[in-house]
């Protein structure tokens, strides 16, 4: 994975919540240097959200607690959600997710971040059951998604970057699929009132696509694809993807 858009370890821009008299803050876990927040970086700044990026991707140790944070975003990465041997920081990340759930804080998990939410909440994750999804892919909203406070305002048919070799094979108890693709039935789900897991990458843009395709060329070739065939569609799709996913991010921020 790769994208050249990241949020600095401590972002100075802040938002003051006049109703609560506090600044809204979000912790962002970045697993890899080249897998940042992508198209969501500018909207978060425009919304005035104070962000703290942690994790090996930014060279900042994952903290033991969320402290005074108002929300948590966990990004994607190469490890699986239980790969503590090769990614020992994941235990700390799972602890932060559990804390967010226990405190009722808004959570947004993207790809690995969504899989981690599933595992923490009692679901299971395993290898993809049909085939990997790589590149720009189509998804559809499920009936449950139509009434979801975050997903429900999306178009019934959407497109987004897909880049995964594992998937949620069993959803957590009391959770249902909100979005699905032809080969992956659990593209989005919610745990409790304000924690969402996404299998896809709404943050990924044309730059992400170009860089990820170059980094994972071997995997693309093994799946009958080329870097050019994966990256090219994003050159024209980015405006549509901005119109779809930036409003979703804004809705998530409204829960802070």
CA distance 40 to 164: 20
CA distance 107 to 70: 9
Instruction: Report the candidate in 29, 35, 51 with the shortest Cα–Cα distance to residue 116.
Output: 29
Give the helix/strand (H/E) hosting 52: strand 50-54
Cα radius of gyration (the chain): 17
To the query of whether residue 46 is one of the catalytic residues in this protein, the response is no
Structure tokens of 242?
């901005």
Count how many Cα atoms sit within 13 Å of the Cα of residue 141 in the half-sphere of its side chain: 16
Structure tokens of 22?
């506090």
Q: Which one of the listed residues 11, 31, 164, 201 is annotated catalytic?
A: 201
Structure tokens of 154?
């999306």
**In sequence order, what are the residues at sequence separation of 6 or more whose Cβ sits closer than 8 angstroms to the Cβ of residue 160?**
136, 137, 139, 200, 201, 202, 204, 241, 244, 245
Q: Which one of the listed residues 11, 111, 164, 184 is annotated catalytic?
A: 111
To the query of whether residue 201 is one of the catalytic residues in this protein, the response is yes
To the query of whether residue 203 is one of the catalytic residues in this protein, the response is yes
Torsion angle of the four alpha carbons 115, 120, 126, 131, in this order, in degrees rounded to the nearest 10: -20
Structure tokens of 158?
């959407």
Sort residue 51 into left (φ over 0), alpha (ψ -120 to 50) or beta.
beta
Provide the annotated active-site residues: 111, 201, 203
């Amino acid at each position: 994975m790769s994208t050249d858009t990241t949020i600095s370890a401590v972002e100075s821009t802040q938002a003051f919540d006049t109703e609560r008299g506090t600044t809204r803050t979000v912790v962002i876990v970045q697993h890899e240097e080249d897998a940042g927040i992508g198209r969501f970086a500018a909207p978060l700044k425009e919304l005035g959200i104070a962000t703290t990026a942690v994790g090996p991707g930014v060279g900042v140790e994952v903290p033991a607690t969320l402290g005074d944070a108002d929300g948590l975003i966990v990004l994607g990465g190469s490890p699986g959600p239980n790969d503590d041997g090769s990614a020992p920081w994941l235990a700390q990340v799972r602890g932060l997710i559990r804390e967010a759930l226990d405190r009722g804080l808004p959570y947004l998990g993207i790809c690995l971040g969504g899989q981690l939410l599933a595992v923490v909440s009692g679901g299971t994750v395993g290898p993809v059951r049909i085939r990997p999804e790589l590149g720009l892919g189509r998804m559809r909203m499920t009936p449950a998604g139509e009434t979801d406070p975050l997903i429900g305002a999306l178009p019934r048919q959407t497109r987004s970057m897909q880049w995964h070799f594992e998937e949620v094979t069993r959803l957590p108890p009391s959770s249902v699929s909100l979005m699905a693709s032809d080969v992956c039935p659990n593209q989005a789900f919610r745990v409790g009132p304000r924690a969402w897991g996404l299998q896809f990458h709404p943050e990924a843009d044309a730059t992400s696509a170009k860089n990820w395709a170059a980094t994972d060329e071997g995997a693309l070739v093994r799946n009958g694809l080329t870097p050019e065939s994966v990256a090219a569609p994003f050159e024209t799709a980015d405006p549509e993807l901005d119109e779809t996913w930036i409003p979703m991010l804004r809705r998530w921020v409204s829960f802070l």
